[in-house]
Amino acid sequence: MTTTTLSELALRLQEGSLVPYLGPGVLSGVSETDSGEAIPADSDSLILAMNGGKPMAPRLMYEFARAAMDMELKKGRNFVARFLSETYRDRQWSRAPLHDWLSACKPAYVVDINRDTQLQDSFADTPHTLIRGVARIGGTDYRFRIHHYDGNSYREVAQEDVDADLPILFKPMGSPVPDATFIASDADYVDYITELMGGFAIPSFLKEHRKGKQYLLLGLRLNRDTERMVLSDIVYGADAPTGWALIPEPTQKELRFCRKIGVEVIDADIGDLLAATGTLAASPGVDASIGC
């Protein structure tokens, strides 16, 4: 049990001494501006959207990567990439409150495992470095692509040409901008995580930059092995503790995993964090102290 509060964590985010690590829950409440339809962000909603609103077989509903693999085998790899691009690039979505707050804070380093563009939109007026994961490609040992954003447009750069003074947006699962690249199916994850564990999915400059960092996990449930394996490798070299996680009503599985990697759990959600900054009204009955 510690006495660290949500207000202190929010302040550390603003100061840049804490790295936000964003999961699907940060997009909760985001909807299409025309239809009002909720953005598909978590595993279940993505599967339903990809399958025309219809559930798939129970074994495929377990995880989006498994369902995407099935669709890839039936309709081709381009089908999944096209679905994700059309969903996140071609439709207009309302803004997530957390992304508006991050836009004002402009953290120096953000990890975002979502595939949408809201984080990039938050830095649309700020030069930055974008790193995105890739899988199953030839001609390179690496499983990342790097783009420099000059405040107007992106251009691809080699890792040795990165401006180390710019904010870093790390989207390991990809995005549709400036072009479409995604980690989505089981085969993508097997390739990407293998190279992530081997050190080939993170640029050298980021390996140095991340040393001694601490993280705040936001909107991320940790009941599935895929998210847990990606997280464990991305936060490698962190300080002690590794960080904190906002998880409403955490399961015993989540608590055990967080203890294992040195993450302390708060039984709270993003709205409570924003409330601590004065952005939103506090949710009733939330204890802002941390404890596993």
Relative to beta strand 181-182, strand 215-218 is: unpaired
Q: Please indicate, yes or no, if residue 284 is contained in any of the structural domains.
A: no
Q: What is the pLDDT along the chain (292 residues), one digit of tens a residue?
A: 456 799 999 999 999 999 999 999 999 999 999 999 999 999 999 999 999 999 999 999 999 999 999 999 999 999 999 999 999 999 999 999 999 999 999 999 999 999 999 999 999 999 999 999 999 999 999 999 999 999 999 999 999 999 999 999 999 999 999 999 999 999 999 999 999 999 999 999 999 999 999 999 999 999 999 999 999 999 999 999 999 999 999 999 999 999 999 999 999 999 999 999 875 433 333 333 333 3
Q: Which two tokens stand for residue 123?
A: 């830095």
Residue range of the domain that includes 63: 44-88
Q: Please indicate, yes or no, if residue 1 is contained in any of the structural domains.
A: no
Burial class of 281 by CB neighbour count within 10 A (0 to 12, 13 to 18, 19+): exposed
Q: Please indicate, yes or no, if residue 101 is contained in any of the structural domains.
A: yes
User: Are 243 and 289 contacting, i.e. CB atoms less than 8 angstroms apart?
Assistant: no
Q: Are residues 199 and 150 located together in one domain of the fold? A: yes
Number of domains present in the structure of the chain: 2
Show which of 22, 53, 88 is a domain's final residue: 88
Nearest to 135 by CA among 186, 89, 170: 186
